[in-house]
Amino acid sequence: MTLFLFIARFLLLCAAVNALQPLPVFAEENPVSAAVLAAQQQRVAAIRQASMAAVSIFAGGQGGGSGVLVSSDGFALTNFHVVQPAGVSMKCGLNDGNVYDAVLVGLDPTGDVSLIKLLGRNDFPFAMLADSDTVRVGDFCFAAGNPFLLATNFQPSISAGIVSGVHRYQYPAGTLLEYADCLQVDAAINPGNSGGALFDAEGGLIGVNGRASFEKRGRINVGVGYAISSNQLRNFVGMLRGGRLCDHATLGATVATSEDGRVVVADILESSDAYRRGLRYDDEIVSIAGRPVRTVNAMKNILGTLPSGWRVPLVLRREGRPIEMLVRLAGVHSPAELALLVEGGGAPADPRQKKQKPLDKDAPQKNPHDDTPESGKKTAQVPDIVKPFYEPRNGFTNYYFNRLERNRVAALIASRGDYAVCKGSWIFSGTLVGGGDFRIELAENFASIDLPTGTTRIDTTGDLDGNPSPPGSGGLLASLVLWRRLLQSGPQSLGRTDYWGTAPLLGVEELCDVLHSTVAAVELQVASSPADGTVRGLELWPSSQDDPCEVRFLDHTSLNQIEMPHRFEVRHGNELFAIFQIRSIEFTEIPSNDEASDRVSFLEPGLEYFTADRSL
């Protein structure tokens, strides 16, 4: 009994001592709990911020879906299949509780993407496109949208999950709605979420939701959803902002897996640019657009994220030797086919799977660089509030926005100097890399070039088509004549000029703005910096059957506050024609301060600017 009492008293004493100890404050002292709380707060803040850019799209009695704002002036991305029933205009709600009218801007039916513009403000909240190539399996993600059109108060529904897969490929319906290189997520993507945003943990826009797998007897998500990657969207957004009807790329060749596991060319169209650059049957494809090609599926994924008309690097291997080339990607459809499909005219067989038909030499051939299809979008009933922002034209979704982009680019180019005052001859002199001198004169009525191989002169008062002078250049003089006209008088001086979109240019990190001009039978593309309007390059087709003359301005200098090239490179086909190092530039007629006409020169050695009478 004594031992029992001793033990009981000891336990009571221990309990009393413990009662005097302060209770642990887990939320403050436990680092795991603090980290969890901080992560939760960061997640809530990211979702709150991202939700402000979420758009609920209502297409009247035609249903609706979701979208995401990507600029402060109201441009929003969504799916093609969301806006197709709505036509040109729709109503959109934001989580500020307001309803905004919106107008259709651009369409990419092959990739199931469209761009709309909300009207009424210039200070919309928006999401920034993130780099989807950095996304990894297991990353946290969340979707913001309008599933089942539940957002009657315009507050988006949020569903969270992880990235289940990257670089997935979902086959198109016919030739439309192809999901290439897309993200697979287990966040709930239900009907109505289509077109809405997929965000990463920081609230960066990594994709636009579009597809999901559902139970056979219902419309409930089973944890497999697909989002169009932000990097694919970035490739197309320039064209979409220009009101274009966009198409996706094809190489003009089919590939297969060889017995030893290589991806090799199984068939190729002789009319394709890839064939003209030298790609042949049984060549191994190593990479395209800077991305490795290890499987046939990888090839589909890469091409499916690129717009038709882009020029991208292609690396092949032939007999163990690597060969590099730049290839221009063709379109999956012709412009007329694409316009017909948008109008619901039926889906043709996939042109990537069919062989080339022999050409009828007597039939008129369509210019491959002409974006104008034979049939366009049907006239739609447009509400009065949207009418000022909509202009139908064959080959375009909404030409109003193409004119805006064309004028924006033209104004940027014009800001590089007052070229209009330089009305006389423009004379460029210097040396050729590799040896020899040159002299180029661009005047109102003629253009000439002196090279070690001889002198060439063309009359610029007539048509410039079919004039590839000087020989071997593919049309250098005609290119520079049109470049001078653009700088002096703007795009209206060239004939029909449209905004083509954005495209990569070799040696330039950013995507360039591209203007496309049709001058009689001549096609001209001008690439410029979207930041400041500096002209980076020219491409001119004297005829549709020829390779273009490619002029790439490598660097620039300023002559009396007028930007001029300092060095430029000319290529034709697979050949380098010449690299020109400019030593002096002369304007034979330019008003001076007293309105007189003087000769103004730039001499490279001292970087001096002067007229006949005084220093500038």
Is the bond preceding 125 in cis, omega lying within 30 degrees of 0? no
Token pair for 58 = 């209502």
> Phi and psi dihedrals of 155, rounded to 5?
-85, 120
**Closest residue by Cα to residue 332 from 449, 154, 175, 484:** 175
**Closest residue by Cα to residue 434 from 604, 579, 575, 583:** 579
Single-letter amino acid, residue 25: V
Single-letter amino acid, residue 14: C
Q: Rg (Cα) of the chain, in Å, rounded?
A: 30
Helix (H) or strand (E) holding 37, with range, is helix 31-51
Catalytic annotation on 167? no
The whole-angstrom separation of Cα 458 and Cα 213 is 63
**Closest residue by Cα to residue 75 from 104, 47, 99, 52:** 104
Single-letter amino acid, residue 45: A
Catalytic residue among 51, 56, 112, 528: 112
Distance in Å from the first CA to the final CA of the chain: 115
The whole-angstrom separation of Cα 78 and Cα 401 is 17
Cα distances (angstroms) measured from residue 344 to each of 176, 194, 308: 11, 20, 22
Do 299 and 321 form a contact (C-beta atoms < 8 A)? no
Catalytic annotation on 112? yes
Sign of CA dihedral 208, 212, 218, 223: negative
Single-letter amino acid, residue 239: M
Helix (H) or strand (E) holding 328, with range, is strand 321-328
The whole-angstrom separation of Cα 514 and Cα 501 is 6
The whole-angstrom separation of Cα 307 and Cα 338 is 14
The whole-angstrom separation of Cα 484 and Cα 424 is 11
Catalytic annotation on 81? yes
User: From start to end of 71-126, where are the E strands?
Assistant: 75-78, 89-93, 99-108, 113-118
Catalytic residue among 56, 66, 71, 194: 194
Catalytic residue among 51, 66, 71, 81: 81
DSSP tag of 343:
T
* Tokens 């109505």 sit on residue: 192
State the helix-helix crossing angle for 476-489 and 399-414, rounded to 10 degrees.
Answer: 90
- Residues contacting residue 62 through CB under 8 Å, at least 6 positions apart: 85, 86
- Report the catalytic residues: 81, 112, 194
